[in-house]
Amino acid sequence: MPLCSEEIHLFVHRGHPLAFREVVSLHDLRGETIIVGNRDDDTRDLIESRFRQEAFRPAHVMEMDHVSGMKQMLRSRLSGEVLAAAVGKVTAEALEEERVAPVLQPSDQRIGSLIVSLARYFQTGRLPQS
């Protein structure tokens, strides 16, 4: 029984072929540019460990020294092109603190409601009214 587990999230432009995939394998990332934090970043260690386990070598790796620089780059390059989704209040507050917008958050904080809200958003192109 593991002591803990970590999820790694993939951020891509909504027009990217992987944008609507619920699960992405390392095989799916062949040929893609991977953006990672500096050598002291725990998440980078986790990602590189997984790459080694799977004998995966990304096509290109972009290293960012600071998380804030990575966030700023994503905001400027993907401005208006990314829809952030949050089920829990803590995640929504963190996104708000980082000035990420728009954020889709169902009022009842249930994953099923989030899935329905996402489907409606992609059908209509509009966020639901709160």
Taking only the tens place, the pLDDT of each residue in 4-29 is 666 677 777 777 888 888 888 888 88
Please report, for the chain, the start and end positions of each structural domain, with discontinuous segments joined by +. Answer: 7-80, 83-130
Q: Which of 54, 7, 5, 63 is nearest to 35 (CA)?
A: 63
**What CATH class does 7-80 carry?**
alpha beta
The tens digit of pLDDT for each residue in 68-103 reads 666 666 666 555 555 677 777 777 777 777 777 777
118 C-beta neighbours (distance < 10 Å), count: 15
Cβ 13 vs Cβ 82: under 8 Å: yes
Please give the model's pTM, rounded to 2 decimal places: 0.46
Q: Where are the beta strands (DSSP E) in the chain?
A: 33-36, 60-63, 84-85, 103-104
Please state the length of the chain. 130
Structure tokens at 121: 């958003």
DSSP-assigned letter for residue 26: T
Kindly calculate the radius of gyration of the chain based on its CA atoms and give it in whole angstroms: 16
Structure tokens at 43: 């998440």
